[in-house]
Structure 1
Amino acid sequence: MTTSIRAEDIAPLAAGCAIFGTGGGGSVHNIQLSVERALAENGPVELVTVDDLGPDDTVLLLSGIGAPAVGIEMLSSATQVSSLLAEAERYLGRRVTTFMAAEIGGGNGIVPVGWAARFGRKVLDADGMGRAFPLGTMVSMNVVGVPCEFGMLADVVGNVTLMRTVDIPWLERNARAIAITSGGMAISAHYPLTAETARGSLVEGTVSRAIEVGRALLGAAAPIAALTESLGAAALIGGKLIDVERRTVEGFTRGVMTIEGTGDDRGRVVVLEVQNENLVALERGQVLASVPDLITIVDTETGEAISTELLRFGQRVTVLAWACDPIWRTPRGLELTGPAAFGYDNPYVPFDLERSVR
């Protein structure tokens, strides 16, 4: 069913995308302001489902690529997306009608809405992850075998790079190298989809879902309770950040975050290991939750998600975990995004709400 996204929807969308970002996808705050302005100046954006797509529609995935910590300081150029769009349409020989977030998580989840408003395009109510992951290979289209026809990157200087690689792992390697050369951050366009290739290959309804979760959070008197109910999540620990180890390595923000329990969790210590996104939560070496399930750090008082690059010593936080989209629990999904894909030797144990509630 076709609907629209209006300026007043952006605050809940941003709040929801921050939650689904699991620490990555880039901070939503500056992007929220720019997207709200784009809609105020250009009007609502049409939000369509996969079933709404017709034979003349072409969907293009758009996102930032690089280390979120770099994105705090490196602002994008107004011409980056226009350059990517023009080059994509020239290469394809047809008009791109619809934008889609590569990942619904973080700033990457909301920024295509602003670009759609500025360029008069639609937004697809879907994405390629249902959360945020650090690698371009970790998309649902790759799980089901849809090939990636090309990838493009634009940097703030004005360089536009077109890549026709033999497969998506090579696209990820080349794109990451270009993003690093471009200062650690670029804007990417890839995976042009038709109505036929989009059907059955995406995580659908994620834009609407992010708005729904954001509204539940922003309107709540008890934010943590509202989030656990809306997400089907468990609070793994509530406490204080007592150690933040963070560095930018090979185009990623990597680190280890240590939370010391307070209140009912006093005496407990939970460690989160990070590669842009929160990968695994550990307590005394025992895995509480891990990729591909979602782990998000939120402010205990407000419920606002705190992205990896904004975590600071002394923050009072709650760690939430909940189940990923079923596509990531398939053998191919786990091959791409399970613990082993990140170098862990522990087997994947699916998050279970009843088992996790203390």
Structure 2
Amino acid sequence: MSWMISLDMIAPLARGAAVLGTGGGGDPYIGSLLAEQALREHGPVTAISLEEVPDDALALTVSMMGAPTVMVEKLPSLDELVAPVRALEKHLGRKMTHVACAEVGGVNSTIPIAAAAVLGLPLIDADGMGRAFPELQMLLPTLYGITASPLAISDEKGNTAVLETADNLWTERIARVACVEMGCSVMVAGFAMDGVQARASMVPGSLGHCLSIGTGIEEARAAKIDPVATVLDLVGGLEIFAGKVVDVERGTTKGFARGSARIENTDAMLRLSFQNEHLIAQSNDRVLATTPDLIMVLDHESGEPITTESLRYGQRVRVLSAPSDPRWHSPEALAMVGPGYFGYDMPSHRFDGVPEPVS
């Protein structure tokens, strides 16, 4: 069923997206600014379910690629959102009919809203991950044989390129090099899909889920009840740690924000390892959660999601884990997004609420 995304929905939707974004996906405030500007200038956006997408549709994902830490200081314009779409339409010889979200996470849930408003197109209430991941090929559509290329990439200086690549990993590799040269933060459009492919490969209801989470946090605070408990109910998760951030190591390398954070309480220490998104949560000799399941950091009292670029010494936080889309636990998916892909010598810990020892 279709629904309208109006101006007053942007803040809670972005907040919910930042929760599901597992620390990545870009600053939700930046994404909100873009979406709000687009809605003020062009009016509300129609969000439609996967079932409503015609079989002969041409849906493209529109997103930001690069280090979230850079985008905070290099706010894109609405013209930048449209540039890769127009380049890809010219390359394909066909007009885009629907906007799709590559991931739910901070800015990459609201950039498609802004793009849909500017382009006057419907937005599909779905995404390619059900969370956020750092690399371009890490979408469920990749598992269904849907190619990222041709992929269009644009920057704020007016540079635009269209890539034709051998596979989605090569799309990531080549686009990442271009992204670094273009300032470590660019807009991309790709993953052309028809309605049949979108229904098979995407995670349904993602934007509505984000809105429910963000609204739930707001309502819990207004009612003076625990907003973190509300989030846990909505995501089916578990609180795995609570404490104070005592150390953060972070750097922007090869187009990613990489690093780790240490959180302590009176009894234990938790180390979070991230590459744009949180990948591993480990306490002493125990692995509490790993990619591809969700690791989320929220403010201890307000329930506000904290992204990896905004983690700071002294913050009192609560760390949650929740299950990912079950398709991420297939052998093919784990080879693409499991701990081993990111260089961690440990098996994936599938969320079941029970920590596992490091093997």
- TM-score bucket (shorter structure): over 0.9
Whether 1:238 and 2:242 are equivalent positions in the alignment is: yes
**Cα shift at 1:285:** 3.3
Q: Which amino acid aligns with 2:68?
A: P
CA distance in 2, matches of 1:145, 1:139: 11
Q: Could you tell me how far apart the structure 1 residues matched to 2:47 and 2:260 are?
A: 38
Q: CA deviation at 1:101?
A: 1.4
- Write out per-residue CA displacement over residues 45-87 of structure 1, whole angstroms, 9 at most, x where no aligned residue: 1111221111442101011111111111112133222221211
Q: Does 1:226 align with 2:230?
A: yes
Residues 308-319 of structure 1 aligned to structure 2 (within 5 Å): 308-319=308-319
SS at match of 1:314: coil
* TM-score of the superposed pair, with normalisation by structure 1: 0.95
Q: Alpha-carbon deviations, 1:168-216, whole Å to 9, x = none?
A: 1110001100010011111111111111221211111111111111111
Q: Which region of structure 1 is more displaced relative to structure 2, 46-55 or 178-187?
A: 46-55
Instruction: State the alpha-carbon separation in 2 of the partners of residues 144 and 92 from structure 1.
Output: 21
- The match for 1:251 is 255
Q: How many angstroms does 1:150 deviate by?
A: 0.8
Task: Report 1:285-324 matches (<5 A).
Answer: 285-324=285-324
The 2-side partners of 1:55 and 1:255 are apart by 43
Distance in 2 separating the partners of 1:4 and 1:42: 13
The one-letter amino acid paired with 1:190 is: G
Instruction: Give the whole-Å Cα distance in 1 for the aligned partners of 2:14 and 2:96.
Output: 25
- TM-aligned CA distance change 1:53 to 1:282, over 3 Å: same
TM norm structure 2:
0.95
The SS at the match of 1:79 is helix
User: 1:117 Cα shift?
Assistant: 1.0
How far is the alpha carbon of 1:158 from its aligned partner? 0.4
Amino acid at match of 1:187: M
Determine if contact 1:232/1:353 at 8 Å carries over to the other structure. no
CA–CA distance in structure 1, aligned partners of residues 341 and 126 of structure 2: 24
Match of 1:79 in 2: 79
Name the amino acid aligned to 2:183: G
AA matched with 1:255: G
Equivalent position of 1:34 in the other structure: 34
Over aligned residues, Cα RMSD in angstroms? 1.4
Q: CA deviation at 1:305?
A: 0.6
CA distance in 2, matches of 1:69, 1:187: 15
The residue identity in structure 2 corresponding to 1:7 is L
Matches within 5 A, 1:82-231: 82-220=82-220, 221-231=225-235
Could you give the per-residue CA deviations for residues 242-279 of structure 1, whole angstroms, max 9, x where no partner exists?
A: 00100111111011100012xxxx22110000101000
Consecutive unaligned residues of structure 1, counting only runs of 5 or more, are none
Q: SS in structure 1 opposite 2:147?
A: coil
Q: Distance in 1 between matches of 2:139 and 2:88?
A: 20
CA distance in structure 1 between the aligned counterparts of 2:77 and 2:6, rounded to whole angstroms: 24
User: Counterpart amino acid of 2:207?
Assistant: V
User: Which 5+ residue runs of structure 2 have no aligned equivalent?
Assistant: none
User: Which amino acid is the alignment partner of residue 155 of structure 1?
Assistant: D
Alpha-carbon distance change, 118 to 147 in structure 1, aligned in 2, over 3 angstroms: closer
Inter-partner Cα distance in structure 2 for 1:346 and 1:54: 42
CA distance in 1, matches of 2:136, 2:285: 29
Q: How far apart, in 2, do the equivalents of 1:301 and 1:55 lie?
A: 46
Displacement of 1:142 in angstroms is 0.8
Distance 2:250 2:285 in 1: 20
Cα distance between partner residues in 1 of 2:28 and 2:338: 26
CA distance in 1, matches of 2:22, 2:352: 18
In structure 1, give the amino acid aligned to 2:323: A
Amino acid at match of 1:107: V
User: Do the aligned residues in 1 keep the contact of 2:262 with 2:269 (CA within 8 Å)?
Assistant: yes
Residues of 2 paired with 1:345 and 1:235: CA distance? 24
Q: CA deviation at 1:289?
A: 0.2
Count matched residues. Answer: 352
2-side partners of 1:276 and 1:34: how far apart?
Answer: 21
Conservation of the 8 A alpha-carbon contact between 1:65 and 1:179: yes
